[in-house]
Chain A
């Protein structure tokens, strides 16, 4: 144990260059605690404390603070104590429910699409040998492009009057669409009014989903590619000898072996999708157009435009709980099917 303590002390010394006298005292304290039966706990806590302190200040404390704020009414500050009333108001509020639906449509659209497309690209890149590095860089480019700058380009492409997409559609004889300015449901438009307008995401939301799929695919592709290259070649070769075609190979070998990567991307993708702000704000200019206000924009408006701190904090807490709950559900149901070896 004394050896372990000395290692820890040397580690600290190399980082913060403590004077030898202090280090010797610290060493003696840790050794004494170990001798009295505390085991490795003091050393472990000492090592964990910097990370825990940072997490406490920047994650845990804001979470608790947000919950505390959510118990108060008033505007531009904390007014009177209202208990859980802000939560009740949120549950009854039509705009909150509409923002929640927009968020759910968005998550349901962007996560599966991103995973499927980026897996396809990664698998394609994995299979080719010439120009893989170049193509990987090209597919990664959207991810490192500023979302706001890219959104400006997409806004121009989707412009109903002179955007490239409508010009192309007109060229092939299809009527122009309003794209980002279209609050009607995408299904309503596709089925020419057969499906009610309020069913499914608005066309404007579909545009935002497409933008984010494009923007996030590069990151997921690189992660998938790393996972694919880690799969032992012998497994594939054995499957090939047993007569497996490409799709059976993917279904029975590649995907199970890739399941930790897939699981990681699923968890991260869902959390990120719930918290998306940039693309919504940049593509819609933060406007209150129906069908494009997700929960984050809703919270933003409550805080920064209307001054309802307590109510905004309540919605933020609800969103956090929803994310935690969904992550636990994913962990429970999907996590069991992940092969780690």
Chain B
């Protein structure tokens, strides 16, 4: 009897936790009541420009001011948002890939943007809306959620091939490769002439997808992945050849060792986002003519393809004032004048068509011929899947590339294993019910 004296305290504290962790009512509190916080990942000059644009916006806007906070990498931001969803406390807006947004939607954390777009005061007119690249808008409509616009294009980029001209010239190569066969041949030539690796591989799902697109393949059909199709297998075979012939090495996850190696002339090729353009300019400032970028190699250069990636913006379901400020800022940021500045300074692609005819943009292209390369690829770029569960597939894809690049598996078994595990992961998501 006496031993039960503390029992009520114990039960009470457990009840608090159980209630807290169970089905709490929807609705999220802002992380800051006095400002609309924007979680972003930009660094160096692009971060500075983003803050400048926010400052300019705050001077004109009468609602809550925008406060830009650097919150780590995209992965870090995803984990922070997920933790924020659990804690019911979120920023006003954050950068987000489609696969991430798809994870947030079922929790009710993301605001559908269609009503904000139609808002008479801060919405977009039909003319303005038609100025956005349709493909970039479409990828933010989620088929599994009635085609609702849950995110908005923000900083789009493409997979490009960066090359070091000095290394190529030293190996007797005049122009970068146009096909994957040429790419392998040139890697061999570089290896033969320099006794160094020709390429550094970042094990990354988007790069893998871009390469599969360039082979003429796709990565998903409905909710079934296509990672063991002949096109996907051909990509894994490229990785296998690069590993077996010691033409390429794997870089540390999350690092930019490949960009640094390219700038030092240690390797000839890097496959990276067009948003690396400005970073590469900084790295190559002592030899600005010693490098270039071009479209990734293709199976058939007549029908080219690459991957369109880069983050979008999510606005979270907090207060009306937070949502309105967040949307007004997104509108301001993607307005032609801001979009031109952003694109020129960061290497990200503009999300509006009118930017392509802007005098500053034309002057930028004339300044250095390679500045135009990403824009030339824009017409044939393809977005990545935006199905629920893709986040897990991204990790599996990175693992599959790592396994081939370290000799743990051959191309065929890696492709088969990825297909099998990715399909399982997507099926598991489909089977799992979300919040009741």
Residues of B within 8 A of A184 (CB): 406-408
Q: Are B432 and A304 in contact (CB under 8 A)?
A: no
Q: Are A56 and B406 in contact (CB under 8 A)?
A: no
Q: Are A73 and B435 in contact (CB under 8 A)?
A: no
**Whole-angstrom distance between the alpha carbons of A276 and B334 in the complex?**
44
Residues of B within 8 A of A159 (CB): 252, 257
Q: Are A60 and B13 in contact (CB under 8 A)?
A: yes
Q: Are A286 and B432 in contact (CB under 8 A)?
A: no
Residues of A within 8 A of B254 (CB): 285-287
Q: Are B406 and A308 in contact (CB under 8 A)?
A: no
Please tell me which one of the listed residues B17, B408, B425 contacts residue A197 in the complex, with CB atoms under 8 A apart. Answer: B408
Q: Are A61 and B16 in contact (CB under 8 A)?
A: yes
Please tell me which one of the listed residues B2, B10, B402 contacts residue A289 in the complex, with CB atoms under 8 A apart. Answer: B402
Q: Are B434 and A75 in contact (CB under 8 A)?
A: yes
| Interface 0/1 of A290-331, CB less than 8 Å to B | 100000000001011111100000000000000000000000
**Whole-angstrom distance between the alpha carbons of A69 and B391 in the complex?**
23
Also in contact, A80 and B408, with CB within 8 A (given A49-B9, A288-B398): no
Q: Are A79 and B432 in contact (CB under 8 A)?
A: yes
| Interface 0/1 of A33-55, CB less than 8 Å to B | 00000100100010011001100
**Whole-angstrom distance between the alpha carbons of A62 and B391 in the complex?**
27
Residues of B within 8 A of A307 (CB): 82, 103
Residues of A within 8 A of B107 (CB): 76-77
Residues of B within 8 A of A77 (CB): 23, 107, 434-436
Asked whether A212 is an interface residue with its Cβ less than 8 Å from the other chain, the reply is: no
Asked whether B395 is an interface residue with its Cβ less than 8 Å from the other chain, the reply is: yes
Q: Are A288 and B396 in contact (CB under 8 A)?
A: yes
Asked whether A65 is an interface residue with its Cβ less than 8 Å from the other chain, the reply is: yes
Min C-beta distance of B100 to chain A, whole Å: 10
Please tell me which one of the listed residues B106, B391, B403 contacts residue A290 in the complex, with CB atoms under 8 A apart. Answer: B403
Q: Are A73 and B432 in contact (CB under 8 A)?
A: yes
Please tell me which one of the listed residues B250, B392, B396, B434 contacts residue A181 in the complex, with CB atoms under 8 A apart. Answer: B250
Min C-beta distance of B258 to chain A, whole Å: 10
* Total contacting residues, chain B, CB less than 8 A: 52
Q: Are A75 and B432 in contact (CB under 8 A)?
A: yes
**Whole-angstrom distance between the alpha carbons of A305 and B78 in the complex?**
8
Residues of A within 8 A of B85 (CB): 76
Please tell me which one of the listed residues B5, B17, B79, B103 contacts residue A61 in the complex, with CB atoms under 8 A apart. Answer: B17
Q: Are A65 and B14 in contact (CB under 8 A)?
A: yes
Which of B65-82 touch A at CB < 8 Å?
75, 78-79, 82
**Whole-angstrom distance between the alpha carbons of A308 and B431 in the complex?**
12
**Whole-angstrom distance between the alpha carbons of A145 and B68 in the complex?**
30
Which of B1-44 touch A at CB < 8 Å?
2, 5-6, 9-10, 13-14, 16-18, 20-23
Which of A149-190 touch B at CB < 8 Å?
155, 159-161, 178, 180-184
Also in contact, A287 and B14, with CB within 8 A (given A38-B2, A182-B406): no
Q: Are A305 and B395 in contact (CB under 8 A)?
A: yes
Asked whether A91 is an interface residue with its Cβ less than 8 Å from the other chain, the reply is: no
Asked whether B373 is an interface residue with its Cβ less than 8 Å from the other chain, the reply is: no
**Whole-angstrom distance between the alpha carbons of A178 and B257 in the complex?**
14
**Whole-angstrom distance between the alpha carbons of A64 and B79 in the complex?**
24
Min C-beta distance of B244 to chain A, whole Å: 15
Asked whether B253 is an interface residue with its Cβ less than 8 Å from the other chain, the reply is: yes
**Whole-angstrom distance between the alpha carbons of A288 and B408 in the complex?**
14
- Please, could you name 23 A-B residue pairs with CB atoms under 8 Å apart, sorted by A? A45-B6, A56-B10, A57-B17, A61-B13, A74-B432, A74-B436, A76-B106, A79-B436, A181-B402, A181-B406, A184-B407, A184-B408, A286-B253, A288-B395, A288-B398, A289-B399, A290-B403, A304-B82, A304-B83, A305-B79, A305-B392, A307-B82, A308-B432
Interface residues of B (CB under 8 A from A): 2, 5-6, 9-10, 13-14, 16-18, 20-23, 75, 78-79, 82-83, 85, 103, 106-107, 203, 249-250, 252-255, 257, 261, 266, 389, 391-392, 395-396, 398-399, 402-403, 406-408, 425, 429, 432-436
| Given A74-B433, A159-B252, A286-B254, 14 extra CB contacts under 8 A | A60-B10, A61-B13, A61-B18, A65-B18, A75-B103, A78-B435, A79-B432, A181-B250, A181-B252, A183-B403, A287-B203, A289-B399, A305-B391, A308-B432
Interface residues of A (CB under 8 A from B): 38, 41, 45, 48-49, 52-53, 56-57, 60-62, 64-65, 68-69, 73-80, 155, 159-161, 178, 180-184, 197, 284-290, 301, 303-308
